[in-house]
Amino acid sequence: LITIAIIGMGMIGTSLGMALRNADEPGSRLGPLQISGFDRDRSSLNTARGRLAIDRVATSLADAVAGAQIVVLAVPVLAMRELLGELAALLPAGTIVTDVCSTKAQVMGWARELLPTTVDFVGGHPMAGRERSGPDAADPELLREAIYCLTVTPHTRPQAIEAVEAMVEAAGAKPYYIDAEEHDSYVAGVSHLPFLLSAALVDVASQGSAWREMQALAASGFRDVTRLASGSPEMHRDICMTNRAALRHWIARTVSLLDEVGAQLDAEDSAAIEALFRRAYERREEWLAAKPNMRPGEDAFLGGAPEVQRPSLFGFGPRKKK
Amino acid sequence: LITIAIIGMGMIGTSLGMALRNADEPGSRLGPLQISGFDRDRSSLNTARGRLAIDRVATSLADAVAGAQIVVLAVPVLAMRELLGELAALLPAGTIVTDVCSTKAQVMGWARELLPTTVDFVGGHPMAGRERSGPDAADPELLREAIYCLTVTPHTRPQAIEAVEAMVEAAGAKPYYIDAEEHDSYVAGVSHLPFLLSAALVDVASQGSAWREMQALAASGFRDVTRLASGSPEMHRDICMTNRAALRHWIARTVSLLDEVGAQLDAEDSAAIEALFRRAYERREEWLAAKPNMRPGEDAFLGGAPEVQRPSLFGFGPRKKK
């Protein structure tokens, strides 16, 4: 019986718990699971228990991690440093720790700095989100088929990697190994920049004196492009603050493109404007077409995963029928 | 029997025809309708006929408008000038002409310049769209409950206004009277700027050397913010080129905000970043909350519509039960 402790009963932590408790046990390399949960906010913890995301409500951080082989930290990224510091004294040798934060280099650095060397940290980031937060917004299907980034170092024990990988698969997601710095740069472009543009659009449109009238004209296009702006302001602040360099790069690229478009409008250069729109149209169609067929997570996983020795720490080897 | 000619069997023209042919006849101030359609592209015209958007396939522009009381121009905005020029000689006195273009000031100017004074032009712009184009993408429900902007001048005859208003209502949309310049400025902010940011995001992300890897990480957030970028490049080029000043204004505001965010990231000013995200979050929630309850189209219509005399040109007065 593997015990997993989930610290933080927000949208992601609760969704992960629900997915794991729904997991097809015989099909999972982890075998039977017991999930304990903890959150400093008592009401989130009770909601998560009510939604069957956890088997056991822990009364403290120490209680939550007691006897756990895998500890999942599902807290906002800026709460990670303090939490890792507190955990350091609580975790017995061999405990495997992972997280779900949207930026990885900073988190990997804190883990290296604060956790004892007898504990393994595997960075994690499921590429799935909703703009709503909290355990009420959790969805057991959120992680299904989602790319789940995993960041490791040359020192991470293969058993720890295999355990987190098996957990990710049990939750229905696809492990995707990636370097932490590369992860941060890439998600800044496809996730943090989209959020920023979404929020910027709402702000720019709504700060003008005509917003009252403009509101009536805003339709489905405005709604979709601004969807991400309904995400948690604190969470996105933290994401931006722990990924400043990468985000800065993408902001500069965007400003430079918008300045170019402005100059093309001034010059009435309709050919250049059309060329941009056509490029964007074609790249997006390619992306939409490639995504379902390539199964990019599996593809990259086969090519890019570190070598993993089996059987592992917990004796779970290749899948067996019961 | 009122005859409506629809010129241009694209997504909007075909959707309008389908909505009008589905209209509840006794409930409509227009009464029974006969719809003729024309498109230089024979295959679009046949598709529209096959989808029951029109009653009659016209063989030429002259044939389409012959006997029509209302002529709807559903062509790309940059085709409008030439089309208005051709129509000038074909329209008998009293014909009512309207369009569906996304920008209005330029179109109103062309209509004033090119149409005989015996013909009335009422600018129109349904605030509903899809990223796909052509008659196959048409949807009889597209206009249902949608705000439908109407732009008139002090010289537009009340009968013409009432006729177009009745047609808009018969199609299930909500007439919304607005000044042409205001319209262009507002939709530049809530429609053309969102499109531009959507396309800019795809372009910026996909021009980098890491796009192949980034593609795999792009998830639902990227998909939604970039949805508009799958719209027709030519159509959006034309929209931008006929609304340059307004779009330029919103681009400048956006660039200035992004530069500010960049400086805040450099200064590690997390409070300012959070304040922006919170503002955007709150404005968007307000917008989402107000939109369904206020019924903003009706609201604005009651306050802002010009006085209309009844009964009108075609003798249609207040709704009567048959």
Q: Report whether pLDDT(B319) > 70.
A: no
Distance in angstroms (rounded) separating the CA atoms of residues B176 and B125: 9
Contacts of B277 in chain A (CB under 8 A): 199, 229, 233, 236-237
pLDDT band at B52 (very low <50, low <70, confident <90, very high): very high
Using a CB-CB distance cutoff of 8 angstroms, which residues of chain A are in contact with residue B179? none
Which among A190, A233, A248 is the nearest to B214, CB-wise?
Answer: A190
- Tens of pLDDT, residue by residue over A176-194, are 999 999 999 999 999 999 9
Complex ipTM = 0.81
Q: Which of A31-45, B15-29, B300-314 has the lowest mean pLDDT?
A: B300-314
Report how far apart, in Å, the C-alpha atoms of B301 and of each of B177, B194, B227, B296, B298 are.
Answer: 6, 25, 30, 8, 5
Residue pLDDT, tens place only, A46-98: 999 999 999 999 999 999 999 999 999 999 998 999 999 999 999 999 999 99
Mean pLDDT of B122-142: 91
The rounded percent of chain B whose pLDDT value lies above 90 is: 80
Contact residues, chain B, for A216 at CB < 8 Å: 147, 176, 294, 296-297, 299-300
Helix (H) or strand (E) holding A208: none
pLDDT (tens digit per residue) in B186-208: 999 999 999 999 999 999 999 98
Torsion of CA B107, B112, B113, B115, to 10 degrees: 100
What pLDDT score does A131 carry? 73
pLDDT digits (tens, 9 = 90+) for A258-314: 999 999 999 999 999 999 999 999 999 999 988 643 333 333 333 333 333 333 334
Q: How far is it, in rounded angstroms, from Cα B87 to Cα A103? A: 60
Copy the structure tokens of residue A310. Answer: 């089996």
Residues of A in contact with B247 (CB under 8 A): 265
Nearest neighbour of A196 by CB, restricted to B224, B261, B288? B261
Question: Quick one: pLDDT band at residue B31, thresholds 50, 70, 90?
Answer: confident
| Interface touch A262/B252, C-beta < 8 Å | yes
* Rounded-to-integer distance, Cα A42 and Cα B14, Å: 56
Which residues in chain B have Cβ-Cβ distances shorter than 8 Å to A222?
A: 190-191, 194
Q: Distance, in angstroms, between A293 CA and closest chain B CA?
A: 12
CB-nearest to B225 from A197, A266, A291 is A197
The Cβ of residue A308 has, within 10 Å, a number of other Cβ atoms equal to 11
For residues A146-162, give the mean pLDDT. 95
Residue A14: closest CA among A68, A61, A57: A57
- Tens of pLDDT, residue by residue over A235-250, are 899 999 999 999 999 9
Token couple for B4: 């409506």
The DSSP secondary structure of A95-115, one letter per residue, reads -EEEE--S--HHHHHHHHHHS
